[in-house]
Chain A
Amino acid sequence: MVANNEQKGTLIENIAKFREVGLLGFIIILSVVIQWRNSSFLTLENINDMITNTAILSILAVGMMLVIITRGIDLSIGATLALSGMIAALTVGAFPNLSPILAILLGTLVGLVSGLILGAIISKGGVLPIIATLGMMYIFRGLTFMVSGGQWVSAHQMPESFKGIATGSFLGINNLILIAVLIYVAFYYFINHTRTGRQIYAVGSNPDSAKISGINHDKIIWLVYTIMGGLSGLAGVLWVSKFASAQGDTASGYELTVIAACVLGGVNIAGGSGKISGIILGSVLIGIMNNALPLINVSPFWQTGIQGSIILIAVVLNALVKRGVDMNALMRRRI
């Protein structure tokens, strides 16, 4: 009986551990099916297109994961992205000789400042994240229209060097992908190998315990929203460069796609857990769905419904597995 329990335990634990493997398997199966229906899916061009699209999504998902781990949520990132993209686009429009690196830094800085303000409201002001970010979403969106005067910044107003951020490549790899990979690596080390990373997980897993363990709860909360803001700013510049257009309603509603990517990637919306590998796969899956469903002639009316169903199925499966793991820990207790 005991041996039986142990065995069952390892099986369920393995499923939990290799949740990413399951997700990867699902992505592969989905790709094979789509490729079978439309052979233009797995062409180099389409793959490149898909991955560059996913790059921005996954950069945002990294930040969103940190926020969700601390039991928060950030609805303002679409607006932050639009605001920093717009400011960067207007600046390069006015100073065409500005180095693209500086443009990226400028956008990131705008995002950082937005996140800093938002973080202060949440951690020091004690406003619930969903309310604070909802409010800031409207403020940032409004600011975007104000700085642009309601005008678009379109491709011909941007210098080639700026558009080159998204289209250029280094050692044959697209810049967007390089930047995204750099961010994955940096944040992988940040959350797994630094003191602050450990404290972020602690605050999300059990805020009371973290407080008694001498962790500065407010500081951690402030930090994650600032990081989220910075990444949104960076994504804003990349977005505007990629689509060669900055508009007042850029990325409107995109925050929900980012949250969906996190949830698909196994980030627990109740806080405390989430992995970089998971959100990369979650972002890729969303990228594939966005790209492939039109390719296999799924009616646009069905697309969002299918996407929603897949998200729900993933979450329900996740909950079932988690229940199994908890049960198992209790069974193995030596009473």
Chain B
Amino acid sequence: MSEFVLELRGITKTFPGVKALDNVQFQLGPGEIHALMGENGAGKSTFIKVITGVHQPDEGQMFLNGKEVNFKNPTEAQKVGIAAIYQHVTCYPDLSVTENIFMGHEKIQKGTRRIRWKEMHEEANRLLKELGASFDAKTIMGTLSVAQQQMVEIAKALSTNAKIIIMDEPTAALSRNESEDLYRITEKLRDSGTSIIFISHRFEDMYRLASKVTVFRDSKYIGSWGVHDIPNEDLIVAMVGREIKQLFPKVETTIGSEVLRVEGLGKTGFFADVSFSLRKGEILGITGLVGAGRSEVCQAIFGVEPADKGKIFVKGVETTIQTPLQAMNKGIGYLPEDRQQQGLILSWGIDKNITLSSLSLISKKGWMNRKKEDEYANHLSKKVNVKTPNVANLVSSLSGGNQQKVAVAKLLMTGLDIIILDEPTKGVDVGAKSAIYEIISNLAAQGYGVIMVSSEMPEVISMSDRILVMREGRITAEIQAKQATQEAILEAAMASKESTEGQSLEASGL
């Protein structure tokens, strides 16, 4: 008999081109709340999916109560009592709470195959009451708040008699009071003997709840400690302490006059009090955890989702930007984070993609000049070095890195002063990454003001001149890149709620 409820040894999982988990281990004791921490992309989500049977590991063993198990699909994991609650609640918004709780394991009358509603409602209400919920099981899911929906998810886990519950960033979308409720419920579950794996970016959650913490970094297992046996600083080093391997061809540039300034920019529910300035030839890095509001700020400046508070000054002149077209006319360009969804039209040729946002340059009185289009497309795709025999080829036939280059080429076609790059190297292999860094560097050298949003700290520190750190919709620190350390950035990105007040005051006084 093993002393652990769940134990994983030497788990390796490879996806085409990426090693998502590399010889990872993990041990979960009975009635334990175990925090799993690590940066974005450290492999936590893949790890969870291995435990819940969504992915099958390439190597390694998994033991449940000392017995080896192999899950071929999520149903098998569910049957032995493993349940997961995801960051984004995966509910059916138009169905009732009862239906959501019993989805997939409804109580069925033998013989007639009729659903036993009354029993299900009673059982659902009993579970909800146990969790201290104040709503009825017949309520429609979509009318509940995120916190209440999460309660339903937990009730769902309990209804399957789960012995192990995995919570993936459950507090990310919750307010302070709602988080307290969740802590209370989680502790109650622990006391009744359920083991819980708790993933969170908040140290606060970890100190409040967990007794043990395991850290992953770059798909590898770094270590496990008792929560109070390791100093906070050491934990941060464990999470980020990697060498910077890639090549960052940062060119020294002379930084010129101010091209963009935002003052007190805010959008209800997304970000508030965002103020900063950007100068000619400067690369301004914006970093923070996923969901900190970085992309939203960029989209507001570009007019995709306009801000509802604050001022934007382009070259010292106050301007209103409500649509992307207005932003482009003011000389602002934007490379969206999701190039496949927002940046490019995959079913189109490279040439048509490059010219799409600046059709006026290749047309006269509404008529397009195909020859001119071809010239522009060829010139620009060579400039950013897109690897293709012909610019008429479909974008969908290119690799991720080359697709990103096409998206950059599209930006270069319009006469811009300010370029906003949202996660420019996301999903791009190392070789293409350094090519993209070189392009970014050259853009700054040519006098563009560049804003680079990124979660990858080595990239931010090496490429930027100045770094803004955001957390929960506010700027929590501004650091000169030369003095920046990964630890300082992570601290500003993750600091617990109490310590924010002072910092955000500092930030708004910029």
Partner-B contacts on A (CB < 8 A): 193-196, 198-199, 202, 205-206, 208-216, 272-273, 326, 329-330, 332-335
Query: Does B396 have its Cβ within 8 Å of any Cβ on chain A?
Result: yes
Given contacts A205-B345, A209-B343, A212-B304, A193 and B367 within 8 Å (CB-CB): yes
Q: Are B397 and A195 in contact (CB under 8 A)?
A: no
> Measured between alpha carbons, how far is A211 from B343 in the docked complex, in Å?
10
Q: Compute how far the CA of A14 lies from the CA of B257 in the bound complex, rounded to whole angstroms.
A: 54
18 further A-B pairs in the complex, CB-CB below 8 A; given A209-B343, A329-B397? A194-B363, A198-B359, A198-B368, A205-B345, A206-B345, A208-B341, A209-B342, A210-B345, A212-B302, A212-B334, A213-B357, A216-B323, A216-B325, A272-B347, A329-B394, A333-B399, A334-B398, A335-B17
* Bound complex: CA A119 to CA B367 (Å): 24
User: Cβ of B345 and Cβ of A211 under 8 Å apart?
Assistant: no
Nearest A residue (CB) for B324? A214
Chain B 160-200 interface 0/1 with A at a Cβ cutoff of 8 Å (1 = within): 00000000000000000000000000000000000000000
B352 at the interface (CB under 8 A from A): yes
Chain B residues positioned under 8 Å from A208 (CB to CB): 341-342
From A194, A213, A273, A333, B356 is in contact (CB under 8 Å) with A213
| A residues near B325, Cβ cutoff 8 Å | 214-216
List, in ascending order, chain B residues with CB within 8 A of A335's CB: 16-17, 399
Shortest Cβ distance from A204 into chain B, in angstroms?
A: 10
Asked if A193 and B368 sit within 8 Å, CB to CB, the answer is yes
The verdict on B309 contacting chain A, using a C-beta distance below 8 Å, is no
Q: What residues of chain B have their CB less than 8 Å away from a CB belonging to chain A?
A: 16-17, 302, 304, 323-325, 327-328, 334, 336, 341-348, 352, 356-357, 359-360, 363, 366-368, 370, 387, 394, 396-399, 402, 410
A199: contacting residue among B343, B344, B359, CB under 8 A = B359
Check B359–A211 contact: CB distance below 8 A.
no
Known interface pairs A214-B324, A214-B325. Does A326 touch B356 (Cβ–Cβ under 8 Å)?
Answer: no
* A323–chain B nearest beta-carbon distance, Å: 13
Query: Which A residue sits closest to B344, measured CB to CB?
Result: A209
Chain B min CB distance to A70 (Å)? 14
Nearest CB of chain A from residue B249's CB, rounded to whole Å: 23
**Closest CB of chain B to A69's CB: distance in Å?**
12
Q: A195–B358 Cα gap in the complex (Å)?
A: 10
- Bound-state CA distance A208–B346 (Å) is 12
- The docked-state distance in angstroms from the alpha carbon of A202 to that of B344 is 10
Q: Which residue of B lies closest to A272 (CB)?
A: B347
In the complex formed, the residue of B with least CB distance to A326 is: B396
Q: Is the CB of A202 within 8 A of B345?
A: yes
- B357 and A332 form a contact (CB under 8 A): no
* A211 nearest CB neighbor, chain B only: B324
Closest 9 A/B residue pairs (Cβ): A213-B357, A214-B325, A329-B396, A329-B397, A206-B345, A195-B359, A208-B342, A205-B345, A213-B356
Q: With a CB–CB cut-off of 8 A, which chain B residues contact A211?
A: 304, 324
CB distance from B350 to the nearest CB of A (A): 12
The residue of chain A having its C-beta at the shortest distance from the C-beta of B16 within the complex is A335
Q: Which residues of A contact B356 (CB under 8 A)?
A: 198, 202, 209-210, 213, 215
Of all chain B residues, the one with the shortest Cβ separation from A216 is: B325
- B residues less than 8 Å from A330 (CB atoms): 396-397
